[in-house]
A and B are shown apart, each in its own frame.
Chain A
Amino acid sequence: MFLIKILVRNAFRHKLRTFLTILGITVAILAFGLLRTFIQAWYGGVEASSATRLITRSSISLIFPLPLSYREKIRQIDDVLIVSWGTWFGGIYIDEKNFFANFAVDAKSYLDLYPEYLLSAEERKDFLRDRKAAVVGRKLAKRFGWKLGDLITLRGTIFPGNYEFVLRGIYRGRDETVDETQFFFHWDYLNESLKRIAPSLADQTGWYMIGITRPDRATEVARKIDQAFRNSIAETLTETEKAFQLSFLSMSETILTAIELVSFVVIVIIVAVVANTMSMAYRERIGEYAVFKTLGYRGWQIGGMILGESITLTSIGCGFGIALTYPIASIAARALSQYFPVFRVPHEAISMDIVASLVVGLLAALVPIYRAVTIRIADGLRRIG
């Protein structure tokens, strides 16, 4: 108790210096937490992916379509439960800056395969009944102020023409990892339009989404699917939904690695800041440590005071940093919702904040502790006066 009293009072001995050090730690922990949240948000799609879903796409590239006729062959493969398909539509709503993901999907099978998109029975029925119907996520509807029954026009960028949709459903995610910023509509509607205006693009799909019986069958089913289309005009590449999502991320892996690196550099910088504070404190108190030793205190007890003071500073900074991370991440989530549908502070980030603050406190105190423990009393006393 007495030791805690001393180390807390020591920590606040130089109020301005302590304030600036805590401010530095707070900003560093905040930056670290936000960067980790950002990285997590980038991996949001991966987190939401299911182990019982496979994605089949062209083995050359995702931009090359697959024939619709593949669906029957895929259905016949053992352990395949549902086959759905979809195409990236890439439509623009009014202006290019209003970007959001929009897909043409086989409605019935898609909703069966993705139960995490929650629609009311009424909305589901309306969506399936109306070929021009579209369903959007709750966040996207909120962003543009859409209501059920609204007419929404998207301008095609890949597929020529304007496409009109009637909003028939607004889904919400089953949990917070589900992307609520998507727009999807009937693949049939797109296909029928293409038959009229661009027949060469009709009866093709971007990828197949396949529901399987058990996660442990994924590798085998994927192999069988790809084998079925070997030496065909469009060979396939089948992988788990997670691997598919990760293949997108691999394109930006360098950026993510850089961000990850920066997040750790922030911690290294703050080690230097706190170490500087602790070194200054040590230099000022070297005589006091000698007095403690004169009174019979041992090196480890003095080391404990220094370590305690260092950890007190980093813990307070960490507390403020974590407290600020949530509101600032919430503001960032709103500002970046079109790029990061799921932007929430992960528990791991908070755990890493706490561990980082303890490690910083320990590292910053190491040299002062070593000096305080090893200095001879007579030398320490000579520094007084």
Chain B
Amino acid sequence: MEVQSPLVEIEHVNKSYRRGSRLIPVLVDINLTLKEGEFLALMGPSGSGKSTLLNLIAALDQVDSGTIRVGGIDITTLSERELARWRALHVGFVFQFYNLIPVLTAFENVELPLLLTGLSRKERREHVKLALRVVNLESRADHYPAQLSGGEQQRVAIARAMVTDPTLLVADEPTGDLDKVAAREILDLMERLNQESNKTIIMVTHDPRAAERARTIRRLEKGYLNDVPDQDPR
């Protein structure tokens, strides 16, 4: 039987924010291991540190102490420059409010991460078309974000997140701003990416129905991660 090596290893991570003269702990001694192809939902009340943990895993923020290894690379030791390069290659990020660039079309938004790679224009075009096809938005390629519905914008955001075929897809409340139907479509899409393309996904959510789509659920309470994972809630 093949032993799957962990893709994400978080060890003794602490993070706090300074508010005036006070130091407020946000994450306390977090330990977490994630295998390749996993779909993890991080749940917890507001202010429990879910998004902070997600930001740390995606190298958008820095730990106070502890280590985070992704694919064997300790990202806490990388410089700003190396982190930027690492993010471009290894992480796809899906935001709650889509965060598409309003002056760019759906096609151009998806093309943005590819501009940092050495791909030719033709190759980029092919990758973008494929990504838009996966999210079923090929026909809306020339539309600007303002011309798309919330669900469509989030699908474009997912296409942008996966167009570089990243190691890790992280999503912060991806359905938080969507109606039920659109939310279901997004979750279907993420589930499909996980099951069919074996994408490793970490999703922060408040919504239990969204969390049910994940294979593993972990809960954060006041900066502490609960010890026992809720395995495959389905």
Q: Hey, which bits of chain A sit against chain B, CB under 8 A?
A: 2, 5-6, 9-10, 13, 287-288, 291-299, 376-378, 381, 384-385
Contacts and interface: CB of A to CB of B under 8 A. Distances in A.
Contacts of A376: 61
A13 to B, nearest CB: 6
A301 to B, nearest CB: 9
A12 to B, nearest CB: 9
Nearest to B170: A294
Interface stretch (B109-117, B133-141, B179-187): B109-117
Contact of B84 (A13, A287, A293): A293
Contacts of A288: 99, 101
A385 B97 contact: yes
Contacts of B103: 6, 9-10, 13
A6 B87 contact: no
B88 A378 contact: no
A385 B101 contact: no
A296 B84 contact: yes
Given A288-B101, A378-B55, A378-B61, A295 B96 contact: no
B122 interface: no
A292 B55 CA distance: 15
Contacts of A378: 52, 55, 60-61
B157 to A, nearest CB: 10
B163 to A, nearest CB: 10
Interface residues of B, number: 29
A105 B52 CA distance: 90
A384 B116 CA distance: 24
Interface string B83-108: 01111110001011101011110001
A381 B60 contact: yes
B8 interface: no
A377 B61 contact: yes
Contacts of B88: 295-296
A13 B144 CA distance: 13
B89 A381 contact: no
B70 interface: no
Interface of B: 52, 55, 58, 60-61, 80-81, 84-89, 93, 95-97, 99, 101-104, 108, 111-113, 115-116, 160
A291 B101 contact: yes
A2 B87 CA distance: 20
B87 A296 contact: yes
Contacts of B99: 287-288, 291, 381, 384
Contact of B58 (A9, A10, A294, A297): A294
26 contacts: A6-B104, A9-B103, A10-B103, A287-B99, A291-B99, A294-B58, A294-B60, A294-B93, A295-B87, A295-B88, A295-B93, A295-B113, A295-B116, A296-B85, A296-B86, A297-B84, A376-B61, A377-B55, A377-B60, A377-B61, A378-B55, A378-B61, A381-B55, A384-B99, A385-B96, A385-B97
Contacts of A297: 84, 116
A110 B85 CA distance: 77
- For the complex of A and B, 8 pairs with smallest distance between CB atoms: A296-B88, A9-B103, A377-B60, A378-B61, A296-B87, A291-B99, A295-B113, A385-B97
B210 to A, nearest CB: 18
A297 B112 CA distance: 9
Nearest to B124: A2
Contacts of B84: 293, 296-298
Given A377-B60, A377-B61, 11 more contacts: A2-B108, A6-B101, A291-B99, A291-B101, A292-B112, A296-B116, A297-B84, A299-B80, A378-B52, A378-B61, A381-B99
A297 to B, nearest CB: 7
Contacts of A292: 112
Contacts of B101: 6, 288, 291
Most chain B CB neighbours (cut-off 10 Å) among A292, A293, A294, A377: A294
A26 B103 CA distance: 26
Contacts of B58: 294
A376 to B, nearest CB: 7
Contacts of A2: 108, 111, 115
Given A6-B101, A291-B101, A378-B60, A384 B95 contact: yes
A291 B93 CA distance: 9
A378 B86 CA distance: 17
A281 to B, nearest CB: 12
A295 B100 CA distance: 11
B174 to A, nearest CB: 13
Contacts of B112: 292, 295
Contacts of B111: 2
Contacts of A296: 84-89, 113, 116
A318 to B, nearest CB: 23
A251 B89 CA distance: 70
Nearest to A288: B101
Contacts of A377: 55, 60-61
A240 B89 CA distance: 72
A2 B101 CA distance: 13
Nearest to A377: B60
A252 to B, nearest CB: 51
A6 B100 CA distance: 13
B90 to A, nearest CB: 9
B82 to A, nearest CB: 11
Contact of A384 (B55, B61, B97, B108): B97
